[in-house]
Amino acid sequence: MAVRAAVAGASGYAGGEVLRLLLAHPEVEIGALTGNSNAGQRLGALQPHLLPLADRVLAETTPEALAGHDVVFLALPHGQSAAVAEQLGPDVLVIDMGADFRLRDPADWETFYGSPHAGTWPYGLPELPDARARLTGSKRIAVPGCYPTAVSLALFPAYAARLAEPEAVIVAASGTSGAGKAPKPHLLGSEVMGSMSPYGVGGGHRHTPEMIQNLSGVAGERVAVSFTPTLAPMPRGILATCSAKAVAGVTADSVRAAYEKAYADEPFVHLLPEGQWPATASVHGSNAVHVQVAYDAAVGRIIAVSAIDNLTKGTAGGAVQSMNIALGLAETTGLSTIGVAP
Ligand SMILES: NC(=O)C1=CN([C@@H]2O[C@H](COP(=O)(O)OP(=O)(O)OC[C@H]3O[C@@H](n4cnc5c(N)ncnc54)[C@H](OP(=O)(O)O)[C@@H]3O)[C@@H](O)[C@H]2O)C=CC1
Ligand SMILES: CC(=O)N[C@@H](CCC(=O)OP(=O)(O)O)C(=O)O
């Protein structure tokens, strides 16, 4: 019997991407689609690329609209998921693509999001050590942030192999869809096209505690993170350039071997051949993560670079991958590693 899935926030970028993936998922039947200001609109007017759903009309995001499904994807702004999730029964698989249930430390949540902490759910980054066991059979999943996905997958093998000091410096560029579909002046074409600029510099970005949580969990000690995000003139994609000081005795070969070991059996993470560096275009529309790593002997630092599509592996693809694990389906069902680069 098909898995019946509802999507709340179906008019947004993350909701649209999860619908694109679910349309190609052989085990899923798409049920209710809900929105907020766009409730009552045809999906075809909002997400014209989702042709098979063009005549579906968005309902209000209410417990009644979302009832009667096996899976509910929440693609809502931060802080909106908890109230919706608590109205859904314990037997429904609820997958939150927002941040509400990602962080374990309530103080981190309050500092970076400015509201009371709603709780912590199993974290939907299956490639992290022990993550799959926590996701299997779970009825609640917190999908990671897009930057933490890219950064954690670039750096965790270095910490798992105890090759890096517990302090990482990260600069990552994101496409504009990472900021959502709601209009904002800094996202105007005239502001973004042909220009790049950092934001959230100096520890202010809300994804910093999530990266610290992930890397510290692998390292077994607190990993300090300096994170600088940058808005890039492209619609999709994240390129994360991460570096950490190597511990004594590290060589280029030991770094390469650690990454080969970490990613030998991962279906979505592809360690590129030596000398080839990740590019966002190569993962456009795919659930793949391209990773490369080098040892810069002149400064004794490990440099790891990853590329993802922020909307696919960075949100909706990660959500579907986690759903597959939770439901006992093959993890790769409905997901592709093939990009759409020109
Ligand atoms: N964009 C990305 O790359 C990533 C996004 N995410 C997360 O996914 C979630 C959605 O992001 P994104 O799709 O980019 O954002 P969008 O702004 O594109 O979409 C937001 C969606 O939420 C709905 N919505 C807005 N306010 C409310 C409300 N008060 N109650 C119920 N629904 C509401 C909107 O409905 P309507 O249009 O009808 O008003 C819309 O469907 C966020 O938590 C985001 O942080 C996570 C990782 C990456
Ligand atoms: C380019 C851009 O603005 N990106 C967003 C992050 C992407 C995102 O959606 O964050 P969550 O995964 O936590 O929801 C930002 O920096 O705030």
| Whole-number pLDDT of residue 130 | 94
| Residues designated as active site | 146
> How many C-beta neighbours within 10 Å does residue 87 have?
11
Return d(Cα 182, Cα 195) in angstroms, integer. 21
Indicate the SS3 state at residue 319: helix
Indicate the SS3 state at residue 151: helix
Across residues 78-88, what is the average pLDDT?
A: 95
- Give, to the nearest 10 degrees, the angle between helix 208-219 and helix 146-160: 20
Return d(Cα 279, Cα 313) in angstroms, integer. 15
Render pLDDT for 168-202 as a digit per residue (tens, 0 to 9). 999 999 999 999 999 999 999 999 999 999 999 99
* 41 pocket-lining for ligand 1 (C-beta < 6 Å): no
| Whole-number pLDDT of residue 342 | 82
The pair of three-digit structure tokens given for residue 55, joined into one six-digit string: 């005549």
Percent of the chain whose pLDDT exceeds 90: 99
* 157 pocket-lining for ligand 2 (C-beta < 6 Å): no
Across residues 209-233, what is the average pLDDT?
A: 98
Fold (CATH) for 3-144+313-327? Rossmann fold (3.40.50)
* 12 pocket-lining for ligand 2 (C-beta < 6 Å): no
ipTM above 0.90 for this complex: yes
* 317 pocket-lining for ligand 1 (C-beta < 6 Å): no
Which of 21, 33, 36 to probe ligand 1 with, by most ligand atoms within 8 A of CB? 36
Q: CATH code for 147-310? A: 3.30.360.10
With residue 149 as reference, give the H or E element that holds it: helix 146-160
Q: Which residues contact 278 (CB under 8 A, 6 or more apart)?
A: 239, 272, 290, 291, 292, 305, 306, 307
Return d(Cα 257, Cα 302) in angstroms, integer. 13
Render pLDDT for 299-331 as a digit per residue (tens, 0 to 9). 999 999 999 999 999 999 999 999 999 999 999
Residues of the chain with CATH 3.30.360.10: 147-310
Q: Whose CA is nearest to atom 10 of ligand 2?
A: 145
Return d(Cα 123, Cα 140) in angstroms, integer. 9
Percent of the chain whose pLDDT exceeds 70: 100
Render pLDDT for 107-120 as a digit per residue (tens, 0 to 9). 999 999 999 999 99
- Flag whether pLDDT at 1 surpasses 90: no
* Signed CA dihedral, 265, 14, 235, 53: sign only: positive
Find tokens 């560096």 and name the residue. Answer: 277
Across residues 139-168, what is the average pLDDT?
A: 98
Residues of the chain with CATH 3.40.50.720: 3-144+313-327
Across residues 233-247, what is the average pLDDT?
A: 98
Atom of ligand 1 at shortest range from CA of 61? 31
- Flag whether pLDDT at 341 surpasses 90: no
